[in-house]
A and B are shown apart, each in its own frame.
Chain A
Amino acid sequence: MSPIFYILAALTIGGGLAAVLLKHLVHCALAVTVAFAGLALLFLQLDAQFAGFAQILVYIGAVAILIVFAILLTRGSELPKGGVFSPTWLVGLVIAAGVFAVLGWAVIQSVRTVPQQITVPTVTVKDIGNALVGRYVLPLEIVALLLTAATIGAVIVAMHQKEGPR
């Protein structure tokens, strides 16, 4: 394990924790952007250059901006009166801790039996492009259709309705 991994893991986990714990929604959006950036750097550390740069483009470039837009359009930057956590926060925390305990136990128990590739895989962007238009062309088309439908659907859902009962 290299020290770079520990730095990037601390950055990602810290960003995620801050996103969940901070009070102001704008601060949460900034913290989750840090977590997305840390994940992109972890992808690069895992020799997955294409996924890393796709992560930067899609998450930091699009999703973070969408979240900031939604916060500003809904006046979410104002602090709520009754606190930021729900009344049943303890139950949620216990469930999340239980999930982490089970996942961590499973990882530590099973990772000895998994074969590990130590050599760096030589996969270029050209290979990924060839696979996308070759073997994976049907999923690519389905994702294109899904993105079109989601874009139109998001616009229709969020469109201002001038008439009709409220």
Chain B
Amino acid sequence: MTGFASPLAGYLLVAALLFAIGLAGALTRRNAILVLIGIELMLNAANLNLIAFWRFGPHPEALTGMMFAIFSIAVAAAEAAVGLGLVISIYRHTSTTELDKINRLKG
């Protein structure tokens, strides 16, 4: 159970790929909502890492990784609510959600 075929490496590689996909989405899309979706994908990839290390780590009964993932899910929910509220507020001011058209701070 060493090297590439180990379960932990598989989960970590999936999480790394998902993180890279989320980062690419956040960096390349023009719509603000898609950027938020990319950020959510990155947070989810981090959660998968935490759960995988909790499962294959030496002391799963200590619940550290599990607790970190649960609190991370709660914080991500709060972040999504505030982020989407901001997008709706910006849309009401500028009538667009395209990030390269939102180029001034004064609404």
Contacts and interface: CB of A to CB of B under 8 A. Distances in A.
A50 B51 CA distance: 11
Interface string A128-164: 1001100010010001001101110111011010000
B18 A150 contact: no
Contact of A166 (B9, B31, B76, B107): B107
A18 to B, nearest CB: 10
B17 A1 contact: no
A166 B57 CA distance: 55
Interface in A99-132: 99-100, 103-104, 107-108, 111-112, 114-118, 121-123, 127-128, 131-132
Given A16-B21, A95-B27, A1 B7 contact: yes
Q: Is chain A's binding surface mostly helix, strand, loop or mixed?
A: helix
B85 A111 contact: no
Interface size class of B (residues with CB under 8 A): 35 or more
B6 A20 contact: no
B24 A20 contact: yes
Contacts of A158: 84-86, 88-89
Contacts of A139: 67, 71
B105 interface: no
Given A39-B48, A54-B70, A136-B67, A12 B18 contact: yes
Contacts of B31: 25, 76, 80, 84
B62 to A, nearest CB: 9
Interface of B: 1-14, 16-31, 33-34, 36-38, 40-41, 44, 47-48, 51-52, 54-58, 60-61, 63, 66-67, 69-71, 73-82, 84-89, 91-93, 97-100, 107
Interface of A: 1, 5, 9, 12-13, 16-17, 19-20, 25, 28-29, 32, 35-36, 39, 42-43, 46-48, 50-51, 54-55, 58-59, 62-63, 66-67, 69-71, 73-74, 76, 80, 82-89, 91-93, 95-97, 99-100, 103-104, 107-108, 111-112, 114-118, 121-123, 127-128, 131-132, 136, 139, 143, 146-147, 149-151, 153-155, 157-158, 160, 166
